[in-house]
């Protein structure tokens, strides 16, 4: 393995157009356009670029290598949900989840191997930080999902897999631009999820592309949030609220708030009142998700009956709130959980991992 924290972009989707031109140095220039179209429009691997001469295809297979190799793949919901555990070139592992619905197809992608934010309830946070993903490694997760979704068109990307997108801002934004410009997805169908990295939220407010922002709040008083989400000690709620207010004002985009309901921890009447007080002035949409228990935080999610009651209470207090539709999938689909089951960054198992039943954390209700 390479040293910690080192990003070594190496896959085909890490190359810029100019770099593809350079790879094809002795070929006529139109070839670079053909190869670029092959990668981004036809989602093809070099071997599938049958409009190229065979010798060139063979040569490109050595130069335009994949950045991701499947270490495990599970499906659920009759194939409508697909979860991959990808192995990166240096052996690190990340996950993505493809979700097909009657009206849309969405992929949830990872932005880092591991995560440094240390949220106590999160499997990825419990495992710790390994490294940033490169732009190409992020884009390639989308490409793989677009290929798998065929003949349907994948139209939505949520950056809600492993890692904190705004802690890897430049590479994530590079991926947003590629996905928008070259894969042709609308910026309004891309959603970045953050735990509350305030400088990142400020930068996002100034960006040209109007992507959606989801804030993983989970607690709206500093004492509780400091414990659940340690980054709150650096960027406390007042500062976070101010950055969100500026984001909403300058971008004109709606903010959504994620709230994982944890039994007896953040689902009491006071917690909901604090949530309402935070969300209302921002005009934010609240997504309630019952917590998925993880090995390092064996507290259960709020039972369904009380999730519904929490939603009703928020709505009654003037907050736009919905319960995130979960599918009854049992494929370790909460991001970080499949990697934990398949033993982190150990070598890929020869046979598929045993399907230990863990409930899906669905990401379906991200803004469309
Ligand atoms: N780091 C970013 C994006 C990845 S986490 C963020 O925190 O927003 C994606 C979402 O999954 C976040 O809302 C996170 O709080 C939530 N999450 C993490 N662990 C969870 C669990 N065990 N149960 C339910 N949601 C969880
Ligand atoms: Fe990182 Fe998000 Fe997990 Fe927190 S919830 S540890 S920010 S991936």
pLDDT on residue 353: 32
Instruction: Give the distance (Å) from ligand 1 centre to CA of residue 194.
Output: 9
For ligand 1, mutation pick of 116, 133, 160, 168 (most atoms within 8 Å of CB): 160
Q: How far is the CA of 143 from the centre of ligand 2 (A)?
A: 24
For residue 340, name the pLDDT band (cuts at 50, 70, 90).
low
Ligand 2 atom at minimal distance to the Cα of residue 112: 8
Q: Are residues 54 and 191 in the same domain?
A: no
The answer on 247 and 159 residing in a single domain is yes
Q: Is residue 261 very low, low, confident or very high in pLDDT (cuts 50, 70, 90)?
A: very high
Residue nearest (by alpha carbon) to ligand 1 atom 19: 122
Q: Are residues 22 and 76 in the same domain?
A: no
pTM as predicted? 0.91
pLDDT over 60 (residue 11): yes
pLDDT at position 354: 31
Strand partners, 85: 72, 95
The residue whose CA has the least distance to atom 21 of ligand 1 is: 292
Strand 105-108, strand 93-100: pairing: antiparallel
Full domain range(s) for residue 252: 68-331
Residue 3 lies in a domain: no
Least confident of 35-39, 71-75, 193-197, 364-368: 364-368
Nearest ligand for residue 302 CA: 1
More reliable by pLDDT, 161 or 359: 161
**pLDDT given for residue 347 in this prediction:** 31
Is residue 1 situated within a structural domain? no
Scored b (16 or more CB within 10 A) or e, 331-358 reads bbbbbbbbbbbbeebeeeeeeebeeeeb
Residue 166 CB–ligand 2 contact under 6 Å: no
Whether residue 319 sits in one domain with residue 174: yes
Evaluate: CB of 197 within 6 angstroms of ligand 2.
no
Using an 8 Å Cβ cutoff, are 143 and 95 in contact? no
Cα separation, 252 vs 188, whole angstroms: 12
Judge whether 315 lies within some domain.
yes
Assign residue 58 the CATH number of its domain.
Answer: 1.10.150.530
The 3-class secondary structure across 135-199, one letter per residue, is HHHHHHHHHHHHHHHCCCCCCEEEECCCCCHHHHHHHHHHHHHHHHHCCCCCHHHEEEEECCCHH
Q: Is residue 75 domain-shared with residue 51, that is, in the same domain?
A: no
Asked if residue 353 belongs to a domain, the reply is: no
Residue pLDDT, tens place only, 275-321: 999 999 999 999 999 998 888 998 999 999 999 999 999 999 999 99
Hey, how many other C-beta atoms are within 10 angstroms of the C-beta on 160? 24
In a domain, 83, yes or no: yes
Mean pLDDT throughout 76-88? Answer: 92
Using an 8 Å Cβ cutoff, are 256 and 228 in contact? Answer: no
Mutate to test the pocket of ligand 1, among 163, 165, 260, 325 (most ligand atoms within 8 A of CB): 260
Q: CB of 138 closer than 6 A to ligand 1? A: no
57 and 165 both lie in a single domain = no
Q: Is 195 in the pocket of ligand 2 (CB under 6 A)?
A: yes
216 and 315 in a single domain? The answer is yes
Find the mean pLDDT for residues 182-207. 97
Among 7-16, 81-90, 342-351, which stretch is predicted with the lowest mean pLDDT? 342-351
95 has pLDDT over 80: yes
Q: Report the chain's mean pLDDT, rounded to a whole number.
A: 88
**Is residue 4 scored above 90 in pLDDT?**
no
Report how far residue 183's alpha carbon sits from residue 27's, in angstroms, rounded to the nearest whole number.
25
Confidence of residue 349 (pLDDT cuts 50, 70, 90): very low
* Token representation of residue 250: 């300058």
361 found inside a domain: no
- Say yes or no to pLDDT of 37 above 50: yes
- For residue 206, pLDDT over 50 is answered with yes
Higher pLDDT pick, 208 / 25: 208
Of all ligands present, the nearest one to the C-alpha of 168 is: 1
- pLDDT above 60 for 66: yes
Pick the ligand that lies closest to the CA of residue 116. 2
Q: Is residue 2 part of a domain?
A: no
- How many angstroms does the Cα of residue 43 sit away from the middle of ligand 2? 30
Instruction: Give the pLDDT mean for 112-139.
Output: 96
Q: Both 277 and 263 in a single domain?
A: yes
* Three-state helix/strand/coil letters over 27-85: CCCHHHHHHHHHHHCCCCCHHHCCCCCHHHHHHHHHHCCCCEEEEEEEEEHHHCEEEEE
45 & 128 share domain: no
326 and 209 in one domain?
yes
| Interval 111-137 mean pLDDT | 96
Residues 140 and 252 in one domain: yes
- Position 9 scores a pLDDT of 66
The secondary structure of residue 324, as a DSSP letter, is: P
Number of independent structural domains in the chain? 2
Residues paired with 100 in a beta bridge? 105
pLDDT at 18: 93
The answer to whether residue 197 sits within a structural domain is: yes
Taking the CA atoms of residue 7, residue 12, residue 13 and residue 19 in that order, the dihedral angle to the nearest 10 degrees is 90
- The model's confidence at residue 339, banded by pLDDT at 50, 70 and 90, is low
- Write the pLDDT tens digit of every residue in 135-186: 999 999 999 999 999 999 999 999 999 999 999 999 999 999 999 999 999 9
Indicate whether 222 pLDDT > 90: yes
Model confidence at 3, in pLDDT bands (50, 70, 90)? low
Give the rounded distance of the alpha carbon of 161 from its chain centre. Answer: 3
For residue 174, the domain's CATH number is 3.20.20.70
Same domain, 59 and 120: no
Alpha helix (H) residue ranges in 196-268: 198-205, 222-228, 237-251
Report the nearest atom of ligand 1 relative to the CA of 164. 1
């Amino acid at each position: 393995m390479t040293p910690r924290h080192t990003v070594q972009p190496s896959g085909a989707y890490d190359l810029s157009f100019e770099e593809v031109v350079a790879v094809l140095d002795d070929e006529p220039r139109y070839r670079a356009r053909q190869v670029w179209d092959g990668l981004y429009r036809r989602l093809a691997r070099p071997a599938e670029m049958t409009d190229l001469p065979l010798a060139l295809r063979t040569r490109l297979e050595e130069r335009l290598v994949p950045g991701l190799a499947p270490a495990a793949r599970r499906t659920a919901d009759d194939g409508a949900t697909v979860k991959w555990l990808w192995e990166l070139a240096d052996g690190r592992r990340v996950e993505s989840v493809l979700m097909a619905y009657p009206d849309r197809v969405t992929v949830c992608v990872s932005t880092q191997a591991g995560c440094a934010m240390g949220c106590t309830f999160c499997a990825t946070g419990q495992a710790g930080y390994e490294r940033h993903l490169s732009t190409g490694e992020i884009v390639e997760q989308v490409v793989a999902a677009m290929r798998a979704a065929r003949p349907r068109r994948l139209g939505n990307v949520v950056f809600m897999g492993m890692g904190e997108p705004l802690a890897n801002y430049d590479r994530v934004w590079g991926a947003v631009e590629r996905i928008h410009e070259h894969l042709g997805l609308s910026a309004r169908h891309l959603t970045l999820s953050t735990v509350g990295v305030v400088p990142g939220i400020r930068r996002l407010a100034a960006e040209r592309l109007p992507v959606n922002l989801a804030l993983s709040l989970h607690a709206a008083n500093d004492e509780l949030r400091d414990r659940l989400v340690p980054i709150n000690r650096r960027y406390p709620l007042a500062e976070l609220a101010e950055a969100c207010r500026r984001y909403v004002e300058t971008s004109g985009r709606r903010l959504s708030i994620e709230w994982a309901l944890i039994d007896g921890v953040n689902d009491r009447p006071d917690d909901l009142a604090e949530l309402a007080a935070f969300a209302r002035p921002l005009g934010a949409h609240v997504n309630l998700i019952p917590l998925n228990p993880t090995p390092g935080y064996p507290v259960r999610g709020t039972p369904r009956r009380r999730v519904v009651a929490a939603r009703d209470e928020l709505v009654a207090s003037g907050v736009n709130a919905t319960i995130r539709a979960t599918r009854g999938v049992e494929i370790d689909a909460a991001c970080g959980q499949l990697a934990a089951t398949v033993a982190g960054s150990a070598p890929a198992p020869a046979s598929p991992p045993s399907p230990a039943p863990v409930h899906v954390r669905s990401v379906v209700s991200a803004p469309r």
